[in-house]
Amino acid sequence: MTDKDELWLKISNTFKQEMSDLNFNTWIAPLKPLYLTNTEFILLSPNRFTKKTIYNKYYDDIQKYLDFISNVKRKVVIIDRYEMDNYKDENIIQNQNIDGQRSILVSEEVAEDEKYTVEDKKPETKQPEEKTDLSPYGKNLISKYKFDTFVKGKNNELALAAALAVAQNPATAYNPLFIHGKAGLGKTHLMHAIAHEILKNNPKARVIYTTSESFTNELISSIGDKSTKKNSQFREKYRNIDVLLIDDIQFIAGKQGTQEEFFHTFNELYNHNKQIILSSDRPPKEIKTLEERLVSRFEWGLMADIQPPDYETRVAIINEYLDRNNTSLTPEIIDYIAMNVKSNIRELEGAVMNVVGQKTLIGDGNITLDLAKNVLKQLIADTQLRPVTIDLIIESVCDRYNVSQDDLLSKKRSKQIAYPRQIAMYVSRKLLDISLVSIASSFGKDHSTVMHGIKKIENDIKKSSEFDEEIDNLINYIQNS
């Protein structure tokens, strides 16, 4: 087993223990380890939709697990098949192995009998990334996510000020603190920074950071245990602490058992003057199927939103990233990236990383603006919003469910084709201001077939919160394409 395969097996097994089989098989299992370099771990996504969802929901956890497992600091990069051409030159990559030995890695596209190892000079011993070890409750924190690496801007002033206040005086400033904003804008960074600061000021503080999905899975595991001991341990863990931070709290929506347990956990902590910090991709009132009693409690404290960064903040983020990685780019390239990658910090850093990676491959360290533009051509094209049309919806559904457009628009009735077709009809009705007759015409069907398809998807959404989430992800992907 190659190093990249071994690393990915460990990371994916961690995910498998912490998420439902459906989510694991939908999002994590399709990813394939492609390349392992001295600075990057490159994963191949089967399509753009999966890649975008991974970046929005699971990227931080993949990076966290990689940092924890490997002694070599690497950045996770996720590409899809359309970006493969950008990595053609990396079929053979010199690589720092997990055990510190040097070798040549060959991509899976190269024949097995062409793989070989080479002698090389003894590499410098790389020290593992320093990890937070201030408290037994803070061992899963990402060390780089601290206040001194968080770039302040007009887009995040309130959230940053509130986070600092809570970190300095837990349970006295804002309780709960509810941070909301779209994916990739720094919510998780602030959550970790708060925990780091509290533990720095009080190493004995009982601080737990987790995600709503991990909280749910732990709860399910404790309930599934035949004895009451595990359930008691679960409640002891989450109720006998000083600070609770839960990321992506919106994912408890629709999960009745989880909401019930968290309601009592919230009350126990709040009534004993313990700090609660929550993050979400939207304000409490906009979280569908979240119980009203939780909505009201989430609004008891301060709600602070984070918006996409403006130009000046994007430049500052780029410079901070370059400083942190001991590298540089010309002002013209920095300006080009800041002007063209506007959606979130994650994509901004991804753009910088791609250019820096190309700079490293060149060898002499020089990279022109034209070369940077070529490297970023596909990424920037992906970030430019396209108007939502029925063609875009069909294209996105086909990409997500691995169906050809010819099949989707054909008369074929197999479930593998008919169900994505019904999803496309439902999404068209939801996003476009057009009649059922127009939708029917676009799909080559009659009015009654479209009505049946839409009704089918509506019923399935009501039956399954996971399917509801899947459709929400698809709609968000289409709206941000």
Residue 172: Cβ within 10 Å count: 11
C-alpha pair distances (Å), 62 with each of 65, 74, 122, 335: 5, 11, 30, 29
Tokens of 238: 């989450």
| Residue type, position 16, single letter | K
**b/e code 468-478 from CB counts within 10 Å (16+ = b):** bbbbebbbbbb
H or E element, residue 280 = strand 275-280
Tokens of 416: 């593998």
Is 224 annotated to bind a ligand? Reply is no
Q: At what angle do helices 447-463 and 415-431 cross, to 10 degrees?
A: 90
Placement of tokens 């989707």 in the chain: 408
Report helix, strand or coil for 384.
Answer: coil
Tokens of 370: 């034209």
DSSP labels for 410-429? SS---HHHHHHHHHHHHHHH
Residue 381: Cβ within 10 Å count: 11
DSSP labels for 51-104? HHHIIIIIHHHHHHHHHHH-SS--EEEEEEGGGGGGGGGGSEEEEE-TTS-EEE
**b/e code 103-141 from CB counts within 10 Å (16+ = b):** bebbbeeeeeeeeeeeeeeeeeeeeeeeebebbebbebb
Is 186 annotated to bind a ligand? Reply is yes
Is 188 annotated to bind a ligand? Reply is yes
- In whole angstroms, give the CA distance from residue 425 to residue 130: 51
- In whole angstroms, give the CA distance from residue 323 to residue 326: 5
- In whole angstroms, give the CA distance from residue 13 to residue 29: 10
How far is it between the farthest Cα atoms of the chain? 71
Q: Which residues are annotated as a binding site for ATP?
A: 184, 186-188
Q: Which residues are annotated as a binding site?
A: 184, 186-188
